[in-house]
Structure 1
Amino acid sequence: MESYKTDFIKFILKKKILSVGSFKLKSGIYSKYFFNFGLFNKGKDLCFLGKIYAKAIIDLKIKFNLIFGPAYKGIPIILSTAIELAKKYKLNIGYCFNRKEKKKHGEQGILVGDKIKGNVLILDDVITTGTSIKESIKIINKYKYAKVNYILVAIDRKENIFDKKSFRYNNISSYKKHLSIFSIITISDIISYLRKNKKQYSDYWNVIID
């Protein structure tokens, strides 16, 4: 595993981004663990987050003209990433995010930031069934000269949830065949790290693996 990925795992464990217990997720399922990206709530946290996303983007050699972040947790992700891309990698990339509700005054609309066009890279925090990403794709697809080819999330939960209504498994991979979906780390990476450090993180290990 690359060193920046290990650093990211250490950071989310130190900041308690990963919580264990009983949680009902946005998808409606219950889980023994939850990732709370709202705890990236300090300036240094966001600097670190931007460095991790930017490093992943550069390593993956993703070609794009704009980064898009779903409201609300995607907003600090794209802002910190855009700053790091400009500062360290000299890439002056535009960014855009959506509002939950349409604004009726000022610039109006549901979008804030640069114009949506060209190859759009969606950045998000955690992927389960990809609900927020699907909503973002619908927004972007309304623009004639824009397309989504790449998605990058921090953590892939590797869930495969059966939807009784559609009678099929509901995951982002089955939503669009042409999408390239990347994650900085997966739940498997976290488990592998916890396995190597059982004594230090016994509370996490005992719950997640149980």
Structure 2
Amino acid sequence: MAVSSSQLPAYKTAFLNSCLSAQILKLGSFTLKSGRQSPYFFNAGLFHRADLLLTISDAYAQTIAAARSSGELGEFDVLFGPAYKGIPLATATVGRLAEVDRAQFGSLSYSFNRKEAKTHGEGGNIVGAPLKGKRVVVVDDVITAGTAIREAMDIIAKEGAILVGIIVALDRMERMPDPRGEKEGQELDANAPRMSAIGQVRKEYGVPVMSILTLDDIIEGLNGVGTDEDVNRLEEYRRRYRASD
């Protein structure tokens, strides 16, 4: 299956094709941690191969560069990758950004945290650029419940840095699960939460949260090349769970 869409930028199409061919994005039936039955599953941990790492770092870089050009994202000094998945994503993306636009991003730094603070040598739990006084963009794979990204924000705040943006690989665009429970096949309660995890983070911290792909992008890319069954199931999932933000 090869995606080709005039509606998507070339880097999104290339990224989506890589995700599908490497089975990073799978179509089928998957039970999420929330208990929802999802027609697709995304595993960014599979971007471990050299060519795939180049693809995802280029997609992050192109998304960031586009956000800077449009004014959605302000100036920043450091890409921060939360341990562990964010570490290779941030470091690879810094290098790719310098290739995309050396004049604008050539002095950009990366930084990441240790899970346990180092007690010898220079000590601390930050590796790479010091964060104090720096403007920081967080790079991660996805935001689900928002717990991991909030931990990263706490680290950034404690280090005396300024959070200016967040970028993830995929925005599922779906509302947070109803804490009162959800039943498959039934319409959601009108009083159930309607905001997504990304929407909550965006509202709480007042910073842009960008993504390489959204569920809308996946459906757009698969139209005409995916099976009718897969596309219909994705569209129904979007209709049922789409967030208000």
TM-score bin, normalised by smaller chain: 0.7 to 0.9
2:28 matched to 1:24? no
Q: Deviations over 1:17-45 (max 9, x none)?
A: 113432333xx444423211121111121
Q: 2:127 aligns with which of 109, 112, 115?
A: 112
**Identity in percent:** 36
Q: How does 1:132-147 map to 2 (within 5 A)?
A: 132-144=148-160, 146-147=161-162
Query: Secondary structure of 1:22's partner?
Result: strand
Structure 1 equivalent of residue 218 of structure 2: 190
SS in 1 for 2:140: strand
Contact 1:129/1:159, CA 8 A, preserved across alignment: no
Q: Which of 2, 7, 28 is matched with 2:14 structurally?
A: 7
Which amino acid counterpart does residue 140 of structure 2 have in structure 1?
A: D
Residues 9 and 149 of structure 1: is their aligned pair in 2 closer, same or farther, counting only changes over 3 Å? Answer: same
Note if contact 2:173-2:196 (Cα within 8 Å) is conserved in structure 1: no
Aligned-residue CA RMSD in angstroms?
2.4
Distance in structure 2 (CA, Å) of the matches to 1:107 and 1:21: 48
Q: Could you say which structure has the larger radius of gyration?
A: 2
CA distance in 1, matches of 2:80, 2:234: 32
SS at match of 2:217: helix
Number of residues paired by the alignment? Answer: 204
Q: Deviation of residue 159 (structure 1)?
A: 2.1
* TM-score when normalising by structure 2: 0.74
The answer to whether the aligner puts 1:73 opposite 2:85 as a matched pair is: yes
Give the Cα separation in 2 of the matches to 1:120 and 1:101: 21
Counterpart secondary structure, 2:31: strand
Q: CA 1:141–1:207 in structure 2 vs 1: closer, same or farther (change >3 Å)?
A: same
TM-score (norm 1): 0.85
Structure 1 match to 2:57: 50
* Inter-partner Cα distance in structure 2 for 1:123 and 1:152: 5
For 1:152, which of 163, 167, 188 is the aligned residue? Answer: 167
Match of 1:127 in 2: 143
Going by fraction, where is strand more abundant, 1 or 2? 1
Q: Residue 243 of structure 2 aligns with which residue?
A: none
Structure 1 gaps of 5+ residues are none
SS of residue paired to 1:141:
helix
Q: Higher relative contact order at CA 8 Å, sep ≥6: structure 1 or structure 2?
A: 2
The Cα shift of 1:64 comes to 0.7
The counterpart of 2:117, out of the listed 102, 107, 126, is 102
